[in-house]
Chains A and B, each alone.
Chain A
Amino acid sequence: MASFKPTKIPVYPKLGEKVTQDTLYWKNYKAPVQIKEYGAVSNIDFSPVAPHNFAVTAFSRIHVYGPFSQEPVKTFTRFKDTAYCGRFRSDGQLLVAGCEDSVVRLFDVSGRVALRMFKGHTKAVHVTDFTSDRYQILTGSDDYTCRLWDIPNAAELSTYREHTDYIRCGVTSKLNRDLFITGSYDHTLKVFDARAEKSVMTMDHGQPVESLLLYPSEGLLVSAGGRYVKVWDLLKGGQPLVLLKNHHKTITCLALGSNGERLLSASLDRHVKVYNTTTYKVVHNFDYAAAILSLALAPDDESIVVGMTNSILSIKHRKHTEESKEMMSQQRRRPSYRVFVKGKNFVPKPDDYLVSKPVKEHLAKYDRELKKFNVSKALDASLEIWLRKKKPEITVGVIKELDRRGTLKNALAGRDEEQLSQLLHFVIGNIVDTRFAPIILTAAEMILDIYKSVIGQSALIDQQLLRLQNILESEINLEQELLEVLGMLDTMFATSVTRKEVPYSDVGRSNGLAQGEASSSRPELFRPPEIK
Chain B
Amino acid sequence: MVEQAEIRVVHQGGSNITFREPAISSDSRFLLCASGHNVKVFSTVTEECVQELRGHADLVTGVLLRPSNHLQAYSCSADGTVRLWDFTDGILIKTYVIGYPICSIYASASHDGVIFIATPTKGYKTLDSLQLLAVHLPQTAGQLVETSDLSAVLSDVSANPATVAFGRAGEYVASTNGVQLQIFFFKKQKSFRFSLKENSCSGRSNTFTCVACHPTDDCIATGHEDGKIRLWRNFDQKREYTYRTLHWHHSTVRALCFTPEGSNLLSGGVESVLVQWRYQQESQQDFLPRLGAAITHIAVSPDGALFCTSHSDNKIVLIQSCVKVSSIIQGLVKGEAVQTDLMVDPRSKALVLNGKPGHLQFYSLQRDRLLFNLDVVQQEFIHQEGLDQFQVVMATLDGAGAWLATVEERKQETAEAELNLKLWAFDEPSQSFVLNTTVSTPHEVRITAVTFDPAARGQTSLLVSCGRDGLFKAWRLAVPAHPDDGGPSWTCDFVSAYHGLTPQRCCFSADGSLLAVGFQEVVTVWSPASWELLLTLSQPPGIIRDLCFGRLSCSKFLLGTTSSNQLCCWNLLTCSLEWSTSMEVSLLLADPLSDNMAAFCHQDGNTDLFVFKPSEPRPLFSQKAVCSGRVSRAVFAPREVALESCEESSQWLNRSQLYFLTPLMDLLTFSTRAEEERLMTASKQLVVDDSVAMTPFQLLLGKRRPHHQAAVEDPAVRPPADRPVPPGGSAAVRELLQSPAHVLPAAAALCSVFMEALLGVATETRENETSAGETPSDPEEEEEEEDSDQEMETRATRPERGLLETDSADPVLSRAQVRELRRVRKLDHSWFSSLLDS
In the complex, are the beta carbons of A507 and B540 less than 8 A apart?
Answer: yes
Q: A1-B290, A503-B536 are in contact. List 9 more A-B contacts (CB 8 A).
A: A1-B325, A5-B380, A370-B380, A404-B388, A406-B384, A503-B533, A505-B499, A519-B579, A526-B575
Contact between chains at B379 and A507 (CB < 8 Å)? no
Instruction: Report the minimal beta-carbon distance from B510 to chain A, rounded to whole angstroms.
Output: 23
Q: List 7 A-B contacts (CB under 8 A).
A: A4-B290, A7-B379, A401-B379, A505-B499, A505-B536, A507-B521, A513-B539
Among residues of B, the one whose C-beta sits closest to the C-beta of A512 is B539
4 shortest interchain CB distances as A-B pairs: A512-B539, A5-B380, A505-B536, A505-B522
- Is B487 an interface position by the 8 A CB rule? no
Bound form: Cα–Cα A511–B525 in Å: 14
Q: Considering the complex, which residues of chain B in the window 519-543 have a beta carbon less than 8 Å from any beta carbon of chain A?
A: 521-522, 533, 535-541
Chain A residues with Cβ below 8 Å from B581 are 519
Cβ distance A24 to chain B, nearest Cβ, rounded Å: 11
Known A-B contacts A8-B378, A18-B482, A405-B382; the reply to A522 vs B576 at CB < 8 A is yes
Task: Determine if B580 and A519 form an interchain contact, defined as CB atoms under 8 angstroms apart.
Answer: yes
The CA-CA distance from A519 to B539 in the complex, in Å, is 12
Q: Is the CB of A20 within 8 A of B482?
A: yes
Name the one of B292, B499, B533, B537 contacting A512, with C-beta atoms under 8 angstroms. B537
Residues of B within 8 A of A (CB): 288-292, 325, 375, 378-380, 382, 384, 387-390, 410, 416, 440, 482, 484, 498-499, 521-522, 533, 535-541, 574-577, 579-581
B292 A526 Cβ-Cβ under 8 A: no
Interface residues of A in 1-42 (CB under 8 A from B): 1-8, 10, 18, 20-21
Q: A10-B440, A404-B410, A405-B387 are in contact. Are A526 and B537 (CB under 8 A)?
A: yes
| Complex-state Cα separation, A164 to B440, whole angstroms | 62
List residues of chain B with CB within 8 A of the CB of A466.
none
B537 touches A404 (CB 8 A): no
Q: State the Cβ distance, A495 to closest chain B Cβ, in Å.
A: 21
Is A260 engaged at the interface, CB distance under 8 Å to the other chain? no
Interface centre among A405, A519, A520, A525 (most CB of B within 10 A): A519
Q: Is A524 an interface residue (CB 8 A)?
A: yes
Q: Is the beta-carbon distance between B537 and A511 smaller than 8 angstroms?
A: yes
- Does A5 contact B416, Cβ atoms closer than 8 Å? no
Q: Could you say which residues of chain B place their CB within 8 Å of the CB of A504?
A: 499
Contact (Cβ within 8 A) A438 B416: yes
> Do residues B379 and A2 form an inter-chain contact, with CB atoms below 8 A?
no
Whether A520 pairs with B579 at a CB distance below 8 angstroms is yes
A271 to B174, CA, bound (A): 88
Q: Chain A interface: which size bin?
A: 20 to 34
Q: Which of A3, A20, A404, A406 meets B379, CB within 8 Å?
A: A404
Distance between Cα atoms of A2 and B291 in the complex (Å): 7
Min Cβ gap B617→A in Å is 10
Contact across chains for B325 and A512 when beta carbons are under 8 A apart: no
Q: Is A456 an interface residue (CB 8 A)?
A: no
Q: Give complex CA distance A10, B441 in Å.
A: 13
Give the residues from 375 to 414 in chain A that come closer than 8 angstroms, CB to CB, to chain B: 401, 404-406
| Pick from A1, A7, A8, A404: contact of B389, CB under 8 Å | A404
In the complex, which residues of chain A have a beta carbon less than 8 angstroms from the beta carbon of B533?
Answer: 503
Q: Is the CB of A513 within 8 A of B580?
A: yes
Q: Which residues of B contact A343 (CB under 8 A)?
A: none
Residue of A whose beta carbon sits closest to that of B521: A507
Chain B residues within 8 Å of A520, by CB: 579
Contact residues, A329-364 vs B (CB, 8 A): none
The complex places the Cα of A515 from the Cα of B562 at a distance, in Å, of 13
Give the distance to chain A from B353, nearest Cβ to Cβ, in Å.
20
Using CB atoms, name the residue of chain B closest to A520.
B579
Residues of B within 8 A of A429 (CB): none
CB closest chain-A residue, reference B387: A406
Cβ of A51 within 8 Å of any chain B Cβ, yes or no, is no
CB-CB under 8 A for A507 and B387, given A404-B410, A522-B576: no
Contacts of B484 in A (CB 8 A): 20-21
**A512 to B560 alpha-carbon distance, docked (Å):** 12
Nearest A residue to B328 via CB reads A1
Contacts of A5 in B (CB 8 A): 375, 378-380
Q: For B410, what are the chain A residues with a Cβ–Cβ distance below 8 Å?
A: 404
Nearest CB of chain A from residue B584's CB, rounded to whole Å: 16
Q: Are A8 and B482 in contact (CB under 8 A)?
A: no
Chain B: minimal CB distance from A271 (Å): 23
Compute how far the CA of A504 lies from the CA of B390 in the bound complex, rounded to whole angstroms.
39
User: What residues of chain A lie closer than 8 Å to B536, measured between beta carbons?
Assistant: 503, 505, 511, 526
CA distance A8 to B378 in the complex (A): 8
A520 to B569, CA, bound (A): 11
Q: Please, which residues of chain A bring their CB within 8 A of the CB of B378?
A: 5, 8
Q: Which A residue sits closest to B539, measured CB to CB? A: A512
The docked-state distance in angstroms from the alpha carbon of A5 to that of B388 is 18
Which among B378, B384, B580 has the greatest number of chain A C-beta atoms within 10 A? B580
Nearest CB in chain B to that of A504: its residue:
B499
The reply to whether B288 and A508 contact each other, CB–CB distance below 8 Å, is no
Known: A2-B290, A8-B379, A406-B387. A505 touches B577 (CB 8 A): no
Q: How far is the CB of B416 from chain A (nearest CB, A)?
A: 6
**Smallest distance from the beta carbon of A486 to chain B beta carbons, Å?**
16
CB atoms of B576 and A508 under 8 A apart: no
Closest to B540 in A: A508
Inside 8 A of B522's CB, which chain A residues have their CB? 505, 507
Which residues of chain A are near B540, meaning CB under 8 Å? Answer: 507-508, 512
Beta-carbon contact of B575 and A525 below 8 Å = yes
Q: Which residues of B contact A3 (CB under 8 A)?
A: 290
The distance in angstroms between the C-alpha atoms of A370 and B290, with both chains bound, is: 14
Q: Taking the nearest CB of chain B, how far is it from the CB of A337, in angstroms?
A: 28
A216 at the interface (CB under 8 A from B): no
User: Within the assembled complex, what's the spacing in Å between the Cα atoms of A90 and B416?
Assistant: 70
Contacts of B537 in A (CB 8 A): 511-512, 526
Instruction: Given the known inter-chain contacts A438-B416, A503-B533, A512-B540, please indicate yes or no for A524 contacting B576, CB distance below 8 A.
Output: yes
List which A479-516 residues lie within 8 A (CB) of chain B. 503-505, 507-508, 511-513, 515
Contacts of A405 in B (CB 8 A): 382, 384, 387
A523 within 8 A of B: yes
Question: In the bound complex, how far is the Cα of B575 from the Cα of A520, in angstroms?
Answer: 15
Could you say which of B375, B499, B576 has the most chain A C-beta atoms within 10 Å of its C-beta? Answer: B576
Contact partner of B538 (CB less than 8 A), chosen from A18, A406, A512, A515, is: A512
Give Cα A401 to B389, complex, Å. 10
Chain B hits for A519, CB < 8 A: 579-581
For B323, the closest partner residue in chain A by CB is A1
Distance in Å: Cβ of B284 to nearest Cβ of chain A: 18
Q: For window 91-147 of chain A, which residues contact chain B by CB distance below 8 Å?
A: none
A523 & B576 in contact (Cβ 8 Å cutoff): yes
- Complex: A296 Cα to B522 Cα, angstroms: 66
CA gap between A513 and B564 in the complex, in Å: 13
| Closest A residue to B568 using CB positions | A512
Q: Count chain A CB atoms within 10 A of each CB in B291, B384, B388, B540 and give the residue with the most.
A: B540
Chain A: minimal CB distance from B303 (Å): 22
Cα distance A27–B388 in the bound complex, in angstroms: 48
Q: In the complex, what residues of A have CB within 8 A of residue B574's CB?
A: 522, 525
Chain B hits for A401, CB < 8 A: 379
Q: In this complex, what residue of A is CB-closest to B319?
A: A1
Q: For B535, give its contact among A2, A6, A526 (CB under 8 Å).
A: A526
Q: Which of A1, A2, A405, A526 has the most CB of B within 10 A?
A: A1
Quick one: which of A405, A406, A505, A526 has the most chain B CB within 10 A?
A505
- With beta carbons under 8 angstroms apart, the residue of B292, B541, B576, B579 that contacts A525 is B576
In Å, the complex CA distance between A505 and B525 comes to 12
Complex CA distance for A299 and B78, rounded to whole angstroms: 93
Q: Which residue of A lies closest to B535 (CB)?
A: A526
A274 to chain B, nearest CB (A): 16
Question: How far, in Å, is B526 (CB) from chain A's closest CB?
Answer: 11
Least Cβ–Cβ distance between A507 and chain B, in angstroms:
5
**A4 contacts across to B, CB distance below 8 A:** 290, 380
Closest to A406 in B: B387
> Judging by beta carbons under 8 Å apart, are A1 and B575 in contact?
no
Report B-chain residues with C-beta under 8 Å of the C-beta of A507: 521-522, 538, 540
Collect the chain A residues with CB atoms within 8 Å of residue B539's CB.
511-513
